[in-house]
Amino acid sequence: MENTKTTANKKEIIIQRLNLLLADYQIYYQNLRGFHWNLEGRYFFQLHDKFEELYGEASETIDDLAERIRSLGGTPLHAFDDYFQKAQLNAAKNVSDGEQAVQIALKNSQVLLFHLKEILTVANEQKEEGTLQLIGDLIVTTEKRIWMLKSFLV
């Protein structure tokens, strides 16, 4: 039987990874909002709606991640300076070209997928079922989004 300290350390590792993912999701979300607001050109109508759909989905994911962190006994990151310090994604500023916005959303999604798979491995090793379910569902959604974004760019 594991001692309480070992169990707490395992949860702390998952909490830290989830917080890093949360920071990247916040940057991804804000990038999508900027794309939605600033798009111009021939893809405006379809991408304006698509980016709104994607940032709505990202907002729900952010809430799910924060609630998972809380349920594990942690505190989710919740300040912009924390996001910028922890995130691997960069803020995309003044992007108005549709194809460029899709390329950035694709690259952001690929980074998120990498993090999701890392967390899945750790959660699986630690038999952390709640995190496994959440992350597994996010992997499926992210892989589908990557496929769709790539298909747009062909």
What mean pLDDT is reported for the chain?
Answer: 95
Of 62, 61, 68, the residue nearest 141 (C-alpha): 61
- pLDDT cut 70: percent of the chain above it: 95
At residue 143's C-alpha, the angle toward residues 145 and 70, to 5°, is: 95
Instruction: For the chain, list the domains and their CATH numbers.
Output: 4-153 (1.20.1260.10)
Are the beta carbons of 146 and 113 closer than 8 angstroms? yes
Can you give the pLDDT at residue 4?
Answer: 64
What is the C-alpha R_g of the chain? 17
**Taking the model in full, what pTM does it have?**
0.94
Report pLDDT digits (tens) over 54-81: 999 999 999 999 999 999 999 999 999 9
